[in-house]
Homo-oligomer: A and B are copies of this chain.
Amino acid sequence: MSAASTPDPTGAGPSRREQLLAIAAQQFAEKGFRNTTVRDIADAAGILSGSLYHHFDSKESMVDEILVAFQEELFGQYDAILASGDDARSKLEAAVRVSFEAIDKHPHEVAIFQNDANHLGSFERFGYLADRNAQSRQVWVTLIEEGVRTGVLRADLDVTLTYRFIRDTVWVAVRWYRPGRDLTHTDIADQYVRILLDGIAVEGKNHG
């Protein structure tokens, strides 16, 4: 038990704070933010609930820290894609792939975002969630519109509806995708991109 109370002087591993955040993220993802008690988190960490308040101000500040860190990483990748000189189809594919990679690397964070962003967003403290949501919409809409303009995507697409279709389809996969099973996130991204772009029907059998 002495190891648990010993700080990490070498700085090699994650700090105790980061360890606790990872544990909290898992709990939040599994049960939702409001349904996770500070005692749940503390139990999972092997300490008492009161001890969490040595590291964090509140339960809210824990999710806050979790979400902000994740979003900064994700949107950094989106920005890089937008700034690249590739054609619209390649950029769209890249954005889908980056998203599935995020599900693979940060499943808890994505799940929290999917399940609790709506509820958390109603508090002033989490107003940035709405901003990030708008930013995400901007990324996808930009890519879709560029695709239509350059003749890569069908001109009769409802851009907003298509945006929702892509967004929902990609992120909702966090509900069933589990790393390390038969299909890798790259496999899934491949097939999703294929369905999204070309549909599931046999080519040339399109109805009018």
Contact = CB atoms under 8 A, between A and B. Distances in A.
A10 interface: no
A126 to B, nearest CB: 16
Contacts of A78: none
Contacts of A102: none
B154 A191 contact: no
Interface in A144-168: 144, 147, 151-154, 157-158, 161-162, 164-165, 168
A173 B164 contact: yes
Interface stretch (A18-26, A29-37, A52-60): A29-37
B201 A89 contact: yes
Given A119-B35, A168-B172, A173-B168, A162 B200 contact: yes
A188 interface: yes
Given A34-B32, A119-B31, A191-B161, A153 B202 contact: yes
A181 to B, nearest CB: 11
A202 B151 contact: yes
Interface string A174-208: 01100000010000100110111111111101111
27 contacts: A32-B32, A32-B35, A34-B35, A89-B201, A89-B207, A144-B200, A152-B201, A154-B202, A157-B200, A158-B191, A161-B183, A161-B192, A162-B195, A164-B173, A165-B169, A168-B169, A168-B173, A168-B175, A169-B169, A194-B208, A195-B196, A195-B199, A197-B199, A198-B198, A198-B199, A198-B201, A203-B203
Sorted nearest first, the 7 A-B pairs with minimum C-beta distance are A199-B199, A198-B199, A197-B201, A168-B172, A197-B199, A34-B35, A172-B172
